[in-house]
Chains A and B, each alone.
Chain A
Amino acid sequence: MAFINLNNVTYKYPLTKTPALQNINLQVNEGEFVAIVGPNGAGKSTLCYTLAGFVPHFFKGEISGTVEVAGMDSSKSTLDEWVLNVGLAFQNPFNQISGAKYTVFEEIAFGLENTGVPRNEMKPRVEEAMKLTDISNLADRSPYSLSGGQQQRVALTSILVMRPKLLVLDEPTSQMDPIGTREVFGVIRKMAEGGMTVVMVEHKMEWIANFADRVVALKDGQVLMEGKPNEVLTSELLAENGFGVSRYTSTTREAKKQGLWKKENLPVTLDEAVEGFKK
């Protein structure tokens, strides 16, 4: 059975009229890296909350269909079982920082402390996670004294250190500098290759195409399309529905109209664009 199995999931937040998710069917295998794309208001964050158990356990509201993750069934499991298997990095890192810790090091150890990891195991795990995301130099800083992008790296590290089976990331690089973004994508790719399942909401199409295995396009709470990154991210359907595309895709689409691009498929990444224009 798939590692994530969403079957006909429809969900409505309390006090709202329209469902945020409608008839979502999604299967993800263990170790797969899936990117979720879509315009604002498509239901991307709600889908993240659902995978992380926050919907419905924290947000309440009405849910139908089945949500199964890592062998747990959302209707039968509680949030404290859920957190041992699934880690969620919030869209706004500021909302995630505990406020109870004075240093970045302690902040990253917070989850381990709360799940009863022994002290002598905690320290090397925190150090290793900080090395992975290249923030060892921030260890003694206050989490609140950091820049937006640094804070985002801390938020991500505090999840990675927990070694969740499923990593759910809601725009984890939105405040990061460009090369930092690429590095973080590389780290996440490595986690997936090590067997961690990853679901990531992103707008940065170039890096999705370089690193993700599969793309799911959401609109108005529904799955509009899913498939291989290049196939989804260059499709006319996405362009017509107001999805963002990489400049390689949009400019090549125009070049194709003018007869300057001879291939059938459009590129999403630099390499694909170079290859197509060169011949």
Chain B
Amino acid sequence: MKIEINDLRFTYPTGLEALQGISLTIESGEQVAIVGQNGAGKTTLVRHFNGLLQPTAGSVLIGDWDTKITSVAKLASRVGYVFQNPDEQLFSKDVGTEVKFGPRNLGYSKDKTDELVKRALTLTELSDKTETNPYDLSPTWRKMVALASVISMDTPIVIFDEPTTGQDALSIARIAHVIAELRREGKTVVTITHDIDFCAENFERVIALSEGRILLDGVAANIFGQDEVLAQTYVDPPQLTRLGKKLGFKETVRNQEEFLTSLRGTSDSE
């Protein structure tokens, strides 16, 4: 499902102009990463996608629904949102109930609900923890519960707000797998992240925000090549991109495979 944003502006009641004219189209099935410095407006932007925030000016369309005249409850059937802090969204007494809450409220049949819950629990490797109270789990696993409780809703659009924060290598790989699975199913995925290496390995399109505006928007390889522009919004290019540049590679490399290919290229020519 497509997201269309037209000259979106948002001012907080304190007078802070968090978004200062954002225009953006995210196509159905696209996987987009949003990067940028703390306070750039990343979370403020995505909170418009499910109606948690209403534009001060401009508009946000989710498919053919205008978020200004659509309730948050209705938008929940199209947009799933995993919060930055799982503690802000978990409330059930056990993991199973938590993950079932969303699909049940969307009115899916019992069979479909059961199937969606099972799939979400398998993907997040929580199948053995359905009886556990989410607050008896470590923050890492609570994040997984938050993830599962949103993907079980089977919405065409899924938003992740800093999914890899505080996660170890194994858990980050698990999250990457979830995102790959959503891509395979044709979902639109929007992810806010500071983990640029994770971003480089999992997303084709990158949007850099700075002070409430779009600084860069395009194919990851192009964006990461512009280190001076990225520095304006406190973002470093991925580690291997930086290394490639220092070694004088002609292409901007993003991941291990591209790096090793370029490395072989330079050592052959010597």
Spell out A's residues near B (CB within 8 Å): 38-41, 91-92, 94, 141-142, 145-150, 153, 171, 174-182, 203, 206, 242-248, 250-251, 254-255, 258, 260, 270, 273-274, 277-278
Give the docked Cα–Cα distance between A94 and B169 (Å).
Answer: 24
Q: Scan residues 36-88 of chain B and give those whose CB is less than 8 A from a CB of chain A.
A: 36-40, 42-43, 84-85, 87
Q: Which residue of A lies closest to B253 (CB)?
A: A251
Q: Scan residues 204-256 of chain B and give those whose CB is less than 8 A from a CB of chain A.
A: 231, 233-236, 238-240, 242-243, 246-247, 256
A206 and B243 form a contact (CB under 8 A): no
Given A180-B234, A203-B168, A251-B240, the answer on whether A175 and B38 have CB atoms closer than 8 Å is yes
Determine which of A41, A176, A179, A247 lies in contact with B197 in the assembled complex, contact meaning CB atoms within 8 Å. A247
Determine which of A40, A41, A242, A247 lies in contact with B256 in the assembled complex, contact meaning CB atoms within 8 Å. A247
B260 and A254 form a contact (CB under 8 A): yes
Q: Which residue of B lies closest to A258 (CB)?
A: B260
Q: List 23 A-B contacts (CB under 8 A).
A: A39-B168, A40-B138, A91-B139, A92-B85, A94-B87, A142-B14, A145-B12, A148-B84, A148-B165, A149-B38, A176-B194, A177-B37, A177-B235, A244-B169, A247-B238, A247-B256, A251-B256, A255-B260, A255-B263, A270-B242, A270-B246, A274-B243, A274-B247
A273 and B38 form a contact (CB under 8 A): no
| B183 → A minimal CB distance (Å) | 22
Give the docked Cα–Cα distance between A147 and B260 (Å).
Answer: 37
Q: Which residue of B lies closest to A278 (CB)?
A: B247
Give the docked Cα–Cα distance between A273 and B243 (Å).
Answer: 7
Determine which of B84, B168, B243, B267 lies in contact with A270 in the assembled complex, contact meaning CB atoms within 8 Å. B243
A39 and B194 form a contact (CB under 8 A): no
Query: Which A residues touch B167, using CB under 8 A?
Result: 40, 203
B263 and A260 form a contact (CB under 8 A): yes
How many residues of chain B get a CB closer than 8 Å to chain A's CBs?
48
Give the docked Cα–Cα distance between A246 and B235 (Å).
Answer: 17
Q: Which residue of B lies closest to A261 (CB)?
A: B263
A206 and B166 form a contact (CB under 8 A): no
A270 and B239 form a contact (CB under 8 A): yes
Give the docked Cα–Cα distance between A146 and B41 (Å).
Answer: 11
Q: Which residue of A lies closest to B248 (CB)?
A: A278
A94 and B138 form a contact (CB under 8 A): no
B259 at the interface (CB under 8 A from A): yes
Give the docked Cα–Cα distance between A149 and B14 (Å).
Answer: 19
B240 and A177 form a contact (CB under 8 A): no
| B145 → A minimal CB distance (Å) | 14
Query: Which A residues touch B170, using CB under 8 A?
Result: 39-40, 242
Query: Which B residues touch A171, using CB under 8 A?
Result: 166
Give the docked Cα–Cα distance between A246 and B198 (Å).
Answer: 12
Query: Which B residues touch A150, using CB under 8 A?
Result: 38-39
Q: Which residue of A lies closest to B166 (CB)?
A: A174
User: Taking each of B85, B239, B240, which has the highest tally of chain A beta carbons within 10 Å of its own beta carbon?
Assistant: B239
B264 at the interface (CB under 8 A from A): yes
Give the docked Cα–Cα distance between A246 and B14 (Å).
Answer: 41
Give the docked Cα–Cα distance between A176 and B194 (Å).
Answer: 7
Q: Scan residues 120-140 of chain B and give those whose CB is less than 8 A from a CB of chain A.
A: 138-140
B264 and A260 form a contact (CB under 8 A): yes
| 0 or 1 for each of B256-268: is its CB under 8 Å from A? (1 = yes) | 1001100110010
A260 and B260 form a contact (CB under 8 A): yes
Nearest first, the 6 A-B pairs at minimum CB distance are: A149-B38, A244-B169, A179-B234, A40-B140, A247-B239, A177-B234
Q: Which residue of A lies closest to B88 (CB)?
A: A94
Q: Which residue of A lies closest to B165 (CB)?
A: A174
Q: Which residue of A lies closest to B201 (CB)?
A: A247
| A258 → B minimal CB distance (Å) | 7
| B124 → A minimal CB distance (Å) | 14
Give the docked Cα–Cα distance between A178 and B233 (Å).
Answer: 9
Give the docked Cα–Cα distance between A41 and B169 (Å).
Answer: 12
Give the docked Cα–Cα distance between A36 and B242 (Å).
Answer: 26
Query: Which B residues touch A174, using CB under 8 A?
Result: 165-166
| B22 → A minimal CB distance (Å) | 16
| A176 → B minimal CB distance (Å) | 6
